[in-house]
Amino acid sequence: MQTKFVVVLGSLMSGMGKGIVTSSILKIMELNGLKALPVKFDGYLNYDCGTMNPYRHGEVFVLDDGSEVDMDFGMYERFMNRSLTGKLSITGGKVFSSIIEKERRGDYLGEDVQMIPHTINNILERLRAISESEKPNVLVIEVGGTVGDIENSYFIEAMRQLSLLEKVVFVNLTYIPKIDVVGEQKTKPTQIAFRMLMSAGIKPDFIVARSAEPLERSAKRKISMFTSVTEDRVIDDSTSDTIYSVPIHFIEQGFDRLLLKDLGINASLSKKKFEAYKKRLSGKASPGPKIAIVGKYVELKDSYASVKEALVHSGLSLNVSPELHWIESADISEGNVAEALSGMDGVIVPGGFGSRGIEGMITAIRHARENSIPFLGLCLGMQTMAIEFARNVCDLKGANSSEFDHSAKHKVVYIMPSQKGAKKKGGTMRLGAWECVIPSKSSTAYKAYRSSRISERHRHRYEINNKYIKVFERKGLIPSGKSADGRLVEMLEWRNSFGIGTQAHPELKSRLESPAPLFVAFLSAAQKHSRNS
């Protein structure tokens, strides 16, 4: 069967949940027994997200193959419960760098290299390559940015041209505000959004209406009348309790049936899979435990999107609803740590780069260890766990990571020899899936994973310095996970209470239907802590 296309375009503004709509369409295709894959277009000229600031752009998501991609890929994987590859991410940087490389090589000799046809064809060739190698029934393409931006205009033009060649269904996400004084949902912005899309030569087949409250009948009628999209194709996307119920809401409105009809695909919803999916969300979660996330990018929650979702997934699997407290690590000091963490049942220190806020993390970890509060350290969180233990238990004064102090007396975390020569910043870290061996069945790591060989995703430059492993072990910090070749420490854990650090980012592989084992173990330890305190 030939690949068909669904193109999701967002109008008016960002932040309406285009990624959630795309993920939900992927999910409903899959629940209809189809192989659906996402493609994400991003108009920026960065080659990938690896060099972006998490404060501005949100989390950098990492795939098994080591690609550093937009955080929407995290959303797709979490909904689909499937691992994706980097070629599904098409950025302006990738498109233009390959065009210029070809031009220099002489591939276009004698031609003027132009937006049309060269850029558009480059994009279409990439889609063709994906559909030939992966053979999906449906490619669901999310066009990053907003209709009308200069940045994504060539991607939108490529989609218009695609619709001349292939079966394409256009889904337009718009926003329906409600003005307090009038108390009525306003459709004018959607009417304007429609006209803008029409002026790009695209008529939407569906309008997905994002609103705080359910879409009123009258608003639906009005949208339909002004856009010539029939009412059954104006889909309600009002705020729900959890993002994971959006596919259910779409199916209940018959969105999947109409999409498949338009695509010309004969498929039917698997009742069994649909019921199982609904059941995952139907549990009555009891509130608690209280979890502190002590990080350096907490002001922008998107920086830790996967950590947050991993807590949602593990909470659902344990039938608890953790209460999350985001704490800026730079604000923590010895003087206020007891107050800042008072009443907490678990502490997480997530990933990060650079020296700001590191001492606050170390202080928080010390407090957790000395008070037997369950602790989970993610990448930088494990590195700071090692520094804290070295300084306060092993009495190695001045212990640090060479990332933060080049001249530290005890570099318990240091740059990997293989990283020393790396001059370029993009794509040069230890990236992607790495195997880890967990030898001892009595370790927290083994109890969490129930396996002695696991694989998680990485994104870092620095490693635990093996020189200090013996003293750590003697004093009660156990290297419970090692790289497959035995040369790198992948996990550390406290002997005396629940505390585990991993050099990987297990949150990147947590999905609704398969929560990250370390998060489940951590959350159940926190739950126990909350019962006992």
| Alpha-carbon gap, residue 221 to 507, rounded angstroms | 42
| Alpha-carbon gap, residue 227 to 192, rounded angstroms | 10
Kindly tell me which of 210 and 460 has the beta carbon lying closer to ligand GLN.
Answer: 460
Which of 367, 490, 507, 529 is the catalytic position? Answer: 507
Q: Strand 178-179 and strand 184-185: pairing?
A: antiparallel
Q: Specify whether 379 is catalytic.
A: yes
Kindly tell me which of 43 and 54 has the beta carbon lying closer to ligand GLN.
Answer: 54
Residue nearest to ligand GLN (CB): 351
Kindly tell me which of 320 and 380 has the beta carbon lying closer to ligand GLN.
Answer: 380
Which of 49, 379, 394, 436 is the catalytic position? Answer: 379
DSSP H/E element including 530: helix 517-532
Which of 57, 313, 458, 505 is the catalytic position? Answer: 505
- Least distance in angstroms from the C-beta of 76 to ligand GLN: 21
| Start-to-end Cα distance in the chain | 59
Q: Is 241 exposed, middle or buried (0-12, 13-18, 19+ CB in 10 A)?
A: exposed
| Alpha-carbon gap, residue 248 to 259, rounded angstroms | 15
- Least distance in angstroms from the C-beta of 67 to ligand GLN: 15
Q: Which one, of 48, 38, 39, lies nearest residue 97 by Cα?
A: 48
- Least distance in angstroms from the C-beta of 75 to ligand GLN: 20
Q: Strand 499-502 and strand 489-494: pairing?
A: antiparallel
- Least distance in angstroms from the C-beta of 387 to ligand GLN: 12
DSSP H/E element including 279: helix 271-282
Q: Specify whether 505 is catalytic.
A: yes
Kindly tell me which of 238 and 455 has the beta carbon lying closer to ligand GLN.
Answer: 455
Kindly tell me which of 425 and 495 has the beta carbon lying closer to ligand GLN.
Answer: 425
Task: Name residue 457's beta-bridge partners.
Answer: 433
- Least distance in angstroms from the C-beta of 440 to ligand GLN: 25
Q: Specify whether 394 is catalytic.
A: no
Residues lying near ligand GLN in the complex (CB under 6 A): 351-353, 379-380, 383, 403, 459-462
| Alpha-carbon gap, residue 42 to 144, rounded angstroms | 5
| Alpha-carbon gap, residue 365 to 385, rounded angstroms | 6
Residue numbers annotated as active site: 379, 505, 507
